[in-house]
Structures are given as structure tokens and as C-alpha cells.
Chain A
Amino acid sequence: MEKSSSERITSALFVVIVSLFFLLPIAWLFLAPFDGQPTYRLKLSDPSFNNFREMSQNPYAYRSLLNSAIFSAGTGLVIILIGAPAAYVLSRVKFKGRDVFLYFLLLFSSVVSGSAAMVPLFLLALRFNILDTYHGVIFILAGGLLPAAIFILKDFTDSLPRSYEESAKIFGASSYRILKDIVAPVIRPGLAVIFVWAFVQSWGNFLIPFIIIRDINKQPAAVMMYSFYTEAGDAVIRTVAAFGFLYTIPVLLMYFYVNRKYGFRFYGGIKG
């Protein structure tokens, strides 16, 4: 559509200012890790990889990144494999109080992701014998994220016309096959986005691994980050910057990949 020149200018100005606003704080992450003498200043005065070398001296650093990947990918997969069918059902089957039910689950998930739930979660994990395990952390993370995931996925499937499924049904296809071969391919971009969202939430999560994991070889990066602090509790900028960089890159790359392949959208029409 056509715009007046004043509209063009304000648009451009807006875009530039907002972009700078978002860019500037992140810029430090791309300079300081490569600076031999990093401070809080945005600079690159002494380019080197020393910080990474120093960080590597921690024998658990790289392992923790792998653990984060396991927790996050695991949670993402569980969310998709379990959440998508559930969202599908809730989308197609109306029962009384369905929406209220979903809202309540959403509210409960905020209780469970707070610090107060720490003791119940620990005792629950103890009872089910999943303390200090990968799957323990994954299930708990998934439990907290499922309501929001189902909420969003349900909107994706809501906007899908039922005609394909109905025809397939008439031709004798089982519900499972309908889900797998008709619905899933269409909402695949939505699944990818939810996977990334669940991945990112798990990637940064400190509380659950902190409650559940004791074995240092299973600790994720979120917890390991704190071991780069000194005796005094002060962050050692060199290693924290380097580790922070390595800790951030995977999620950014994942986003780029999904964006390129599917486009990153919560689309499919999210209506209230």
C-alpha cells in the first residue's frame, strides 16, 4: 500500500531505533568473549581466544552443554509427541468446561515453575525414583510446559478445516493415521515452533535440574554457569563471557534453522 513520505520516514526511524534498542545489549556477547581483557565495556581491544581456553580448563564445561541439549531436546520431543495429539483431541472434541479446564492448567503451571514447588517436586521425584536422572528432569519440565504448549497447538489445529479428516475417516483411516499423515504435516511449522519454544525454555531452566540432579556429569549449562564465579561469588568475566557465548549460540542456530525451513510463526490463527 502506498504511504506518504512522512509515514515512510517515521516508519524507518521507528525500525532503526527499535533495532538498535534490541541489538545493543546483545552486542557485548559477541565482543567480550573474544577480548583478552574483557570488562563491562563494549569493546574488543585485545582479540584472542584465551577466554575459551581458560573456560575449557573446567572439566565439566563442555559436558554441561551436552546435558543441556539432552534435557532440552528431550523436553521438546516429549512436548510434541504428547502435546500434539492431546491438542488435536481437545481441538476436535468439545466437552463442557474444556476451555476452563485448559485455563486452570495454565494457571497451575505458574505455581509449579516457582520456587515454592521445590519440595513437592523433589519428594515426588524421590517417590517415583527419578532423582538424578535425565528422564526425571525431562518429565518435570514437560509437565510445566504442556498446558501452554497444548494451548497454542490447539489453536493451530482449530484453524485446520476438518474436511480432510472427515473424508479420510469415511475411507476408513484410523485416527492415528489421520493424525500422522494428514494433520501433522500441515501443522508441522507449528510443531517446529513449539519444539523450539520448549527447547529454549528448558535450555535456560536452572531450578528443576538444581532440585533433581546431583551428579556433576549430568549438570546442565544453566547450573554450571555458576561454577565460573570466584570464591567471593564474583563472576569471572573472562570465563563467564566465553561460556555464555557457547551457551547461547546453539539456541540461536536452532532458531535460524527453523526459521529458514518453516518460518517462525505462531500462526494458524491464535484466537481467544
Chain B
Amino acid sequence: MRGPRHKDGATVMKSFTHSGAKGLIGKQELNRPVLPTFRKRVSMKQRTRSSVAIGLALALAIGVTSITPASANSVGAACAKADQKAKVGKVNVICKQAGSKLVWTDTRVRTVEIAANAIPGGKNSQTASWINNFVIPKFTLASAQKGQQVKVNFVPKGIDDNAFKTQLALDLSAKRGADIINLDGFWIAEFADANYIKPLATVLGKKTVNAWDGWSQMPKSIQGVMSYDGKLFGTPSGTDGRIIYYNKKLFADAGLPTDWQPKSWAEILTAAQTLKTKLPADSVPFQLNAGAGMGEATAMQGFLNFIAGAGSLIYDNKSKQWQGNTKAVRDMLTFYNDVYNVKKVGNSEWQKLAGEAGRNASFEAFSKGKLAMMIEGDYMWRGVINPATGNFKMADRDTNVGFARIPSQTAGSGVGKQNFVSYSGGGGYVVNPNTANKATTWELLKFMNSEEAILAFMSIGNSVRITQRADVNAVTLTSDLCLKFVFEKAIPVTFFRPPSADYNAVSTLLQKATAEIVQGSSVAQVAADYETALKALVGADKVTSN
């Protein structure tokens, strides 16, 4: 006859483990003896089986409830019980939840800070959103899954770029500041000269830096954005290029070809004149940035291209000389004179407005089909006249806007015998030489430059741009005609601004020179005045004239 049924030993033992005991021991049951008594006599076989089972269960229970340090082998390995503590070599670890797994996690929390002139909803909003909504959560999780606790801070800002640069310089001079800093490429020279930043390899170690596989995806020309004196200071965040945008419909109305590519400055002027005669009076044929109001936009979209197109770079790196009253500079000024005074194919008013007002006026006119040609960076395509998100949405952008390369003065007259020229800018991220957390900072930087992260960046802004990774570009640029054009046609012939701390001041002198041309002064006079001021600025021995 079978005895009264009771649960077999193993089950009973299990039920007294952590979780089981809770279920069993109610208030009343506390008074009962803990171990069951075997009332009925059982056979020897059954008893042996029960003992073995009990023994196994006991071992299992002990194993489950107390994992010894000996079974943890590395940070990031799986563990079973949350909040359990242990040691891996000299490192204290604790068992923590990371996503869906439990892993041994280093108890130290490492903090990394990112600084960029970006603020959600305002300036460089895309960058700010990307950092807040993608980079920080994803990186924090990925690190946690590797057993590293990181806290990433992002300090949002929405101030003038020069003001941002000043704050960075102040912080770095005091050996403070964020760990990862967003710098404009052409600030690298002056920050490096001041010892505020150091080459990436110096800060993190050559082997560490070279070990990253991302470099193979980063074209050397784009790495140039963050380079100085032959050394790389950080990771670039893509780049851009300058081209001529033109309105195909207005060209057609004026009888000009809609697949236009000028091969010289003269051809630009001729087209502009044709437009002037054929188009209504309130249409402007050509926008050529001039004056100090537009700041660097006058340089990058204006005179730098024309000095290069006339055969010289504004600053010669080898001889360390600036272009003073030279043929290239005079030719550039003559072109401005032709546009604004001789042929009168530009809008002089716009060039005189303060701050961004003039540039915005030209953007608005182009978006409304009232401006036929303008030289601008791809930023204009992506961000200004973008039919979905632009500041001056242009509904027919994709069908009606043509692109052309900026020609040299004449075929082969450009620097390096180029027929066409362009200028590129861009910025990137550097590592603060004073960072306390080199390893984590480098991990974050690599993450921000991963294929996944760059793709995420693009999807946030819902607009395509030229990134620093070739694999991403290969996928995304195929759909955007303009950027494809810039990447394939303009970037190969592009130049970068001189890596000199004096560049800012020299650029301002040239901006002023173009403003004086617009106001009617003579080329000879303006060029002479410019040279005088330049000599006062950098020293007469650093100025070339011819």
C-alpha cells in the first residue's frame, strides 16, 4: 500500500530555497517544524534515491544562492544574481542589469563630458538631438553590457561661434573643459600652437589610435579637416564643398542652357548679363558674397575661391607668406568690381547689411526664384532651401536647381593648374589632453564615429550630408544629387583655409576690401589699402606683392 503522498525530497528541499521558502512559510507554518518528518517507512532503494536527490538539491541550492568569486572570470561576463559583489583582479565588480542581461560591472562610474555649440530646438539642433537621444543612451547601454558604468554629460549651448571658441580657449588654457570637444577645423592651428590641444596619437597613444578600424573608412582628404602640420588632432564630422547653384527655369527663360557649366569667370559674367537683360527687374542675376556682415561666408563662398582661381593660395604654407597686393588679389577684386559696379549684376544692398541679414535676404530670394545664381556651400541645399525643413523652403528644389563647379579664372589658371576650385570647411571632435578618463573617452569617440552612429545622425535630421565615412556616403549620397555632385566633383578639387592663427584677422581685412569695392572704390586703391593693413597686422616680411 502506498503511504500518504508527500512531495519527493528534492522538491521539498527546493521549496526551502530563497524563493521557495517565501511561498511555504506563512504565518501559521512558522510554528511547524521546518523539516518534514518521514513518518512512513520507506524502502532502502527509495531512501538512497531520496538522499542522492536531496544532496543534489542541496548542492544546487547552495550553488544558486551563493556564487563564489572563483566563478567570475572577467568584467562584462554574465552573472546570475543581481547586486552580488565580487572582485576581478584588483577591480571591484557588482552584478548589474544591462539591457536584458546581467553582467559583472565595474563599480567605478566614469564620467565623460561632451561640449558642442548645439542646443535642442535651436542652434545645430540635429547634433544636440543626436547626442541626447542616440549617442548617450546607446553608448551608456553598450558600455553597461560590457560591464562598464559610464555617465555621459552633454553641455548644450546656443551662442555665437566666436563666443563658443572663446569659452573653449579660456577653459583649455586653464586645463579644464569637457573631455570631447567639438572644434571647427580651422581653429585647430591656433589651439595647437597654444598647446591647448595635442595630436590624437599623443593624447591616447599611437597604438591605441591606430588600432581602430574606422580609419580605413575615412578618406585622407576628409581627415585633412582636422589635421595640422601633418598630424591628426581629432575625428572629422564630415565636410562640405562650394559650388554654383542656379535656377534652371530662370536660365531657360533667359535662353541659357539648363545643364550649364562655366569654364571661366568671363562665362559667369556673360551669363549674368544675359539674365539681367532677359529677366524682370526685381530678379537678381548673381549673388557673390561680399562685405564684413557675412563674415566667413564672404571668404568661403567668395574671395577665397577667386584668389585660388587666379592661381595663388591666400597663404603659402612653405614660405609662410600672405598674399598682399598681388595679381591674384587684384584679379579677384576686379571680378567683384565687374559684378557690382561694371556689369551691375549683383545686389549691392544685401552685402551691406549687418550680421546674417544680407545672407538671409539672398537665401530668401533664391528660394522664391528671384535670384538666378549664387555660390554657396552644400549647407544651402541641405539646410536652407530644403523643401521639408529649410529656413527658406524651396518647393521645386529637386527639379529646378542646377549645380556647377566654380571655374578658375580661365582653364588651368587655378592653383595646381586646376580648372575648377572649391573650398571646404568642417569640424570635428578632439580629445581634451587633460581628460581624466582616456579609455572611456576614446571608446565614446569611436562610437560617435561608427557607421551605426553616423547613420543615426542622418536619420534624425532627415537630410543627407557628406559624412566622414565612405561606407555611409556610398549608401546615402546616391539618393541626393547635389551632395553626390559635391562629393564627386567639388571635393576632389577643394582647398582648406590656412592653418594660421592670423587667418581670422586677414580674412576680415579681405572682407572689408570686398565691401569697399561694392561701395565703389577702385581696385588699385583697395588693393593698396589692404596691403598696408595686412603689413601692419602680420609684419611686412610676411607679405608678398607682385
Interface residues of A (CB under 8 A from B): 57-60, 118-119, 122-123, 126, 131, 210-211, 214-216, 223-224, 226-234
Contact = CB atoms under 8 A, between A and B. Distances in A.
6 contacts: A58-B120, A126-B174, A227-B121, A230-B391, A231-B125, A233-B123
Contacts of A118: 166, 170
A210 B167 contact: yes
A87 to B, nearest CB: 34
Contact of B174 (A60, A122, A210, A229): A122
Contacts of A232: 356, 359-360, 363, 383-384, 391
Contact of A216 (B156, B160, B355, B356): B156
A57 B119 CA distance: 12
A216 B122 contact: no
A119 B158 CA distance: 21
Contact of B157 (A119, A227, A231): A227
Contacts of A230: 122-123, 391
A233 B356 contact: yes
Contacts of A215: 155
B170 A233 contact: no
Interface in B96-143: 119-125
B interface, over-half SS:
loop
Interface of B: 119-125, 155-160, 163, 166-167, 170-171, 174, 176, 355-356, 359-360, 363, 383-384, 391
A57 to B, nearest CB: 6
Nearest to B124: A231
Contacts of B356: 232-234
Contacts of A226: 158-160
B462 to A, nearest CB: 14
Given A230-B391, A231-B123, 10 more contacts: A58-B122, A122-B170, A126-B176, A211-B167, A214-B171, A226-B159, A227-B123, A232-B383, A232-B391, A233-B356
* Pairs of residues from A and B, 4 with the lowest C-beta to C-beta distance, nearest first: A227-B158, A227-B122, A227-B119, A233-B356
A221 to B, nearest CB: 13
A67 to B, nearest CB: 15
Contacts of B123: 227, 229-231, 233
Contacts of A60: 156
A214 B174 contact: no
A210 B159 contact: yes
Nearest to A227: B158
A230 B384 CA distance: 11
A129 B121 CA distance: 33
Contacts of A224: 158
A223 B159 contact: yes
Contacts of B360: 232, 234
B163 A234 contact: no
Contacts of A59: 120
Contacts of B160: 226, 233
B158 A233 contact: no
Greatest chain A CB density within 10 A among B119, B359, B363 is at B119
A82 to B, nearest CB: 28
Contact of A234 (B121, B171, B391): B391
A215 B125 CA distance: 18
A57 B124 contact: no
Contact of B122 (A119, A210, A229): A229
A216 B157 contact: yes
Contacts of A229: 122-123, 158
A230 B446 CA distance: 29
A3 to B, nearest CB: 46
Contacts of B119: 58, 227
B171 A231 contact: no
A224 B158 CA distance: 7
A227 B122 CA distance: 6
A210 B159 CA distance: 9
Contacts of A214: 155, 167, 171
A226 B124 CA distance: 13
A230 B356 CA distance: 11
Given A119-B170, A126-B174, A234-B356, A216 B125 contact: no
Nearest to A236: B122
Contacts of B171: 214
A210 B125 contact: no
A128 to B, nearest CB: 13
A120 to B, nearest CB: 11
A57 B125 CA distance: 13
A60 B171 CA distance: 23
A216 B121 contact: no
Nearest to B357: A234
A183 B493 CA distance: 77
Nearest to B383: A231
A216 B155 contact: yes
Nearest to B155: A216
A231 B384 CA distance: 9
Nearest to B356: A233
Greatest chain A CB density within 10 A among B156, B159, B383 is at B159
Contact of A210 (B121, B163, B363, B384): B163
Nearest to B115: A214
Contacts of B174: 122-123, 126, 131
Contacts of B355: 233
A226 B121 CA distance: 12
A125 B159 CA distance: 22
Contacts of A119: 170
A230 to B, nearest CB: 6
A234 B160 CA distance: 11
A27 to B, nearest CB: 22
A176 B198 CA distance: 57
Contacts of A57: 121
A124 B324 CA distance: 40
